Amino acid sequence: MCGLMGWITTEGAGARYAADVEAALPCMRHRGPDEPGIWHDDDVALGFARLSIIDVENSHQPLEFPGDAAERSSTADPAGRYRIVFNGEIYNYLELREELARDHGVRFTTEGDTEAIVAAYSVWGADAVPRLRGMFTFLIWDVRDRVLFGARDPFGIKPLFFVAGAHGVAFSSEKKCLLEVLGPIGASTAAPDPEALQNYLTLQYVPEPATLHRAVRRLESGCSFTISPGEPISVQRYFTPRFDERPVPRGDTAAETRRHEEITEVLRDSVAKHMRADVTVGAFLSGGIDSTVIAALAREHNPDLITFTTGFERDGYSEVDVAAESARAIGVRHVVKTVTAQEMMDALPLIVWYLDDPVADPALVPLYFVAREARKHVKVVLSGEGADELFGGYTIYKEPISLAPFDALPGAVRKLAGALSDRLPTGMRGKDLLRRGALPLEERYYGNARNFFPAQLADVLRSYDDELSHVDITESLYAGSRDWSPVARMQHVDLFTWLRGDILVKADKMTMANSLELRVPFLDPEVFRVASALPTDQKIAHGTTKYALRRAIEGIVPPHVLHRRKLGFPVPIRHWLATDMLDWARGIVRDSQTDAILDKAAVLRLIDEHRSGPVDHSRRIWTLLVFMLWHGIFVEQRIRPEIPAPVYPVYA
Instruction: Kindly list the catalytic residues.
Output: 2
Beta pairing partners, 139: 85, 150
How many whole angstroms separate alpha carbon 26 and alpha carbon 20?
11
Angle subtended at Cα 122 by Cα 118 and Cα 124, rounded to the nearest 5 degrees: 110
Q: What is the number of other CB atoms lying within 10 angstroms of the CB of residue 92?
A: 20
Q: Which of 558, 498, 573, 572 is nearest to 291 (CA)?
A: 558
Using DSSP, state whether 333 is helix, strand or coil: strand
Using DSSP, state whether 434 is helix, strand or coil: helix
Specify whether the CB–CB gap between 91 and 273 falls below 8 A.
Answer: yes
Angle subtended at Cα 112 by Cα 106 and Cα 115, rounded to the nearest 5 degrees: 45
Specify whether the CB–CB gap between 543 and 336 falls below 8 A.
Answer: no
Specify whether the CB–CB gap between 589 and 607 falls below 8 A.
Answer: yes
Question: Residue 406: is it exposed, middle or buried by C-beta count within 10 angstroms (0-12/13-18/19+)?
Answer: middle
Rounded to the nearest 10 degrees, what angle do helices 364-374 and 341-355 cross at? 90
Cα distances from 377 to residues 516, 561, 650, in angstroms, run 10, 26, 6
Cα 502 to the center of its chain, rounded Å: 6
Specify whether the CB–CB gap between 59 and 110 falls below 8 A.
Answer: yes
Residues 6+ apart with CB under 8 A from 571: 312, 317, 344, 362, 363, 365, 366
Q: Which of 101, 61, 63, 97 is nearest to 79 (CA)?
A: 63
DSSP states along 269-280: HHHHHHT--SS-
Reported as type and span, the H/E element at residue 35 is strand 35-40
Across 330-473, the runs of DSSP E, i.e. the strands, are 333-338, 380-382
Cα 31 to the center of its chain, rounded Å: 15
Q: If phi over 0 gives left and psi between -120 and 50 gives alpha, with beta otherwise, what is residue 290?
A: alpha
How many whole angstroms separate alpha carbon 651 and alpha carbon 472?
46
Q: Which of 51, 66, 124, 128 is nearest to 93 (CA)?
A: 128
Q: Which of 511, 377, 370 is nearest to 32 (CA)?
A: 511
Q: Which of 236, 188, 229 is nearest to 45 (CA)?
A: 229
Q: What are the backbone dihedrals phi and psi of residue 554, each rounded to the nearest 5 degrees, phi first?
A: -60, 130
How many whole angstroms separate alpha carbon 23 and alpha carbon 29?
11
Cα 128 to the center of its chain, rounded Å: 23
Residues 6+ apart with CB under 8 A from 14: 7, 40, 41, 42, 43, 44, 45
**What single-letter amino acid sits at 129?**
V
